[in-house]
Chain A
């Protein structure tokens, strides 16, 4: 079993209009050292997938219909809140999109980091490495030392001094570094990064990507990188999963998927990104818009917009087929690996 294993995850959200099936049978396996890019357009369910792993989807209105999430063998959907809390921070770290709103503005960053470190230490005393009888004060001092070290590691200059600054005194990129430091202070094995660079300038984005990459190498992290930017995925990720309307429609190692996108949606997505070779007017967008999740189309959810749709697409959810080892596609047109290749 994989380190993180999501099997047939179904999530519904209740709203005024009715119950939306926002996740519709997600399957995903992530191992340590792998960086998975979870890509898709707005509303496809990629963030909810990330939040589901940390069990941070509010419920109600959220409701898990089916499926399981196993983290290091533990079934997360069956874990009580208290158990989840021990996993968060200590074993699963998370960072979010907007570094300006994700740091509590009323507290010095050190204060927040120390609390996270103390929490992680309560789960795993090895974090601070203090004897069980250590006083509160000792723990705080040690936690602060760890926080400074962590800030230093993520590239915050002059960390020992800046730990006593407030979030608004940092630039956007630095705040994201602080958040990363905070997420990693508990030495998690899995890092879920939800659009960590979307709000940043490209130059800063490159630095953050480099930082994440180095941290993965150092800690053997498993990373789930949620993004809509194919470029970021191509650069940083080892694997990619493309989502559309609550489904993963294509997944696998980055190179085969990007070189040989098989699902019509993946292909459309690739073609929509302006590229040096594109001539003006040649970009191809996908016509139509994302289906209504209250009454999704019965078969393949892409069928109504799919340029190569066939009548049977509307009838039945296409099965997931491995077109090459590890490269899975959920499209009736895909041909399984080993059969007569195109």
Chain B
């Protein structure tokens, strides 16, 4: 097990001082427990507001948790001192959903990819020259090239930007990659390229993925095991085929039923008649 989440609970208090109204709170994650094995692709499926994003923010230490433990490779992240946590960040990286927004529009591709190496300079110990070489290496790894080094993000298409985002995440040699809906903003043909790239990278680098998506097709394609999260609760967890073939919770069944498959024969409507 590389990541173990034990009884994680996260409660948000409502923002703002409201001294003329009652204090309200909202539980985003409710006693969540998960474990992810080294080298596996773990899928986390849920609809908007289910707590997926909060969970990733907790793992990354961007959110203070209310109770529970997050153990990464034997270390409890929630009690880690700040300096240690910073070091740990080199081992856990994230790729966000929106490739348009996750790249700083004012930075060159080179600088974007080199930045994690600068931040984790003490761990990696790379000089400026070495960093530049590694940037090119990374670009080539994700299917781009040295000709893209000195350009700004807006000069790239969505798929290319997501590749840049992946290259950035890989810059510090992480072992664990959180993929937060990495393809949901992409067109299908581009999504296919990115999914294939992710698959190849995992093969090549032995990465562990936490893949978050609401697209069941994508999840089924890329993941080994999945967990379904609904309003802060894990409602089902298991092997991907098990859940897709034999869903045990109502929620899983509902999701599967609602998933539109690109096969007119499976349409719930009698569309043929109208034509």
Question: Which of B216, B261, B267 neighbours the largest number of chain A CB atoms within 10 Å of its CB?
Answer: B267
Across the interface, do B255 and A202 meet the contact criterion of CB distance under 8 Å?
A: yes
> Contacts A203-B254, A228-B188 hold; do A254 and B221 have CB atoms under 8 A apart?
no
> Contacts A231-B261, A273-B262 hold; do A203 and B255 have CB atoms under 8 A apart?
yes
Across the interface, do B187 and A274 meet the contact criterion of CB distance under 8 Å?
A: no
Asked if B20 is at the interface (CB within 8 A of a chain A CB), the reply is no
Question: Which of B217, B262, B267 neighbours the largest number of chain A CB atoms within 10 Å of its CB?
Answer: B262
Across the interface, do B268 and A210 meet the contact criterion of CB distance under 8 Å?
A: yes
Rounded to whole angstroms, the CA-CA distance of A74 and B244 in the bound complex is 50
Question: Which residues from chain B contact A280 at a C-beta distance below 8 Å?
Answer: 199, 221-222
> Contacts A235-B266, A238-B271 hold; do A202 and B259 have CB atoms under 8 A apart?
yes
Q: How many residues of B contact A (CB 8 A)?
A: 45
Rounded to whole angstroms, the CA-CA distance of A96 and B255 in the bound complex is 24
Asked if A230 is at the interface (CB within 8 A of a chain B CB), the reply is yes
Asked if A281 is at the interface (CB within 8 A of a chain B CB), the reply is yes
Asked if A137 is at the interface (CB within 8 A of a chain B CB), the reply is no
Across the interface, do A268 and B189 meet the contact criterion of CB distance under 8 Å?
A: yes
Rounded to whole angstroms, the CA-CA distance of A234 and B222 in the bound complex is 23
Instruction: Across the interface, name the chain A residue whose C-beta is closest to B188.
Output: A272
B155: min CB distance to chain A, Å: 12
Question: Which residues from chain B contact A269 at a C-beta distance below 8 Å?
Answer: 188-189
Across the interface, do A234 and B263 meet the contact criterion of CB distance under 8 Å?
A: yes
Asked if B264 is at the interface (CB within 8 A of a chain A CB), the reply is yes
Question: Which residues from chain A contact B215 at a C-beta distance below 8 Å?
Answer: 274
Q: Mark A160-195, 1 if CB is under 8 A from B, else 0.
A: 000000000000100000000000000000000000
Rounded to whole angstroms, the CA-CA distance of A42 and B200 in the bound complex is 26
- Contact among B159, B196, B258, B259 for A283, CB-based, below 8 A: B196
Rounded to whole angstroms, the CA-CA distance of A254 and B266 in the bound complex is 12
Across the interface, do B260 and A232 meet the contact criterion of CB distance under 8 Å?
A: yes
Question: Which residues from chain A contact B216 at a C-beta distance below 8 Å?
Answer: 202
Rounded to whole angstroms, the CA-CA distance of A107 and B191 in the bound complex is 39
Rounded to whole angstroms, the CA-CA distance of A176 and B16 in the bound complex is 30
B153: min CB distance to chain A, Å: 15
Question: Which residues from chain B contact A206 at a C-beta distance below 8 Å?
Answer: 257-258, 260
> Contacts A274-B218, A286-B189 hold; do A236 and B262 have CB atoms under 8 A apart?
no
Across the interface, do A276 and B244 meet the contact criterion of CB distance under 8 Å?
A: yes
Asked if B75 is at the interface (CB within 8 A of a chain A CB), the reply is no
Rounded to whole angstroms, the CA-CA distance of A205 and B257 in the bound complex is 11
Instruction: Across the interface, name the chain A residue whose C-beta is closest to B269.
Output: A213
What interface size band does chain A fall in? 35 or more
A208: min CB distance to chain B, Å: 11
Instruction: Across the interface, name the chain A residue whose C-beta is closest to B47.
Output: A201
Rounded to whole angstroms, the CA-CA distance of A41 and B189 in the bound complex is 8
Q: Mark B216-233, 1 if CB is under 8 A from A, else 0.
A: 111011100000000000
> Contacts A203-B254, A216-B274, A236-B269 hold; do A272 and B261 have CB atoms under 8 A apart?
no
Across the interface, do A281 and B191 meet the contact criterion of CB distance under 8 Å?
A: no
Across the interface, do B267 and A235 meet the contact criterion of CB distance under 8 Å?
A: yes
Across the interface, do A202 and B272 meet the contact criterion of CB distance under 8 Å?
A: no
Across the interface, do B271 and A272 meet the contact criterion of CB distance under 8 Å?
A: no
- Contact among B200, B221, B258, B264 for A203, CB-based, below 8 A: B258
Question: Which residues from chain B contact A232 at a C-beta distance below 8 Å?
Answer: 260
Across the interface, do B200 and A281 meet the contact criterion of CB distance under 8 Å?
A: yes
Asked if A253 is at the interface (CB within 8 A of a chain B CB), the reply is yes
175-199 of chain B: CB within 8 A of chain A: 187-193, 195-196, 199
Instruction: Across the interface, name the chain B residue whose C-beta is closest to A259.
Output: B264
Q: Mark B159-185, 1 if CB is under 8 A from A, else 0.
A: 100000000000000000000000000
Question: Which residues from chain B contact A294 at a C-beta distance below 8 Å?
Answer: none
Asked if A278 is at the interface (CB within 8 A of a chain B CB), the reply is yes
Rounded to whole angstroms, the CA-CA distance of A286 and B188 in the bound complex is 9
> Contacts A274-B221, A280-B199 hold; do A234 and B157 have CB atoms under 8 A apart?
no
Q: Which residues of A contact B (CB under 8 A)?
A: 33-35, 41-42, 172, 201-203, 205-206, 209-210, 213, 216-217, 228-239, 253-255, 258-259, 268-276, 278, 280-281, 283-287, 289-290
Could you name 30 residue pairs across A and B whose Cβ atoms are closer than 8 Å? Answer: A34-B274, A41-B190, A172-B48, A202-B47, A202-B214, A202-B255, A202-B258, A202-B259, A205-B260, A217-B274, A228-B187, A229-B260, A230-B188, A230-B262, A231-B217, A231-B260, A234-B263, A235-B268, A237-B271, A268-B189, A269-B188, A269-B189, A273-B217, A276-B217, A281-B196, A285-B189, A285-B196, A286-B189, A289-B159, A290-B157
Q: Which residues of B contact A (CB under 8 A)?
A: 47-48, 157-159, 187-193, 195-196, 199-200, 203, 214-218, 220-222, 244, 254-255, 257-269, 271-272, 274-275
Which 9 A-B pairs have CB atoms at the shortest separation, nearest pair first? A231-B260, A285-B192, A274-B221, A285-B193, A201-B47, A41-B187, A206-B258, A272-B192, A230-B262
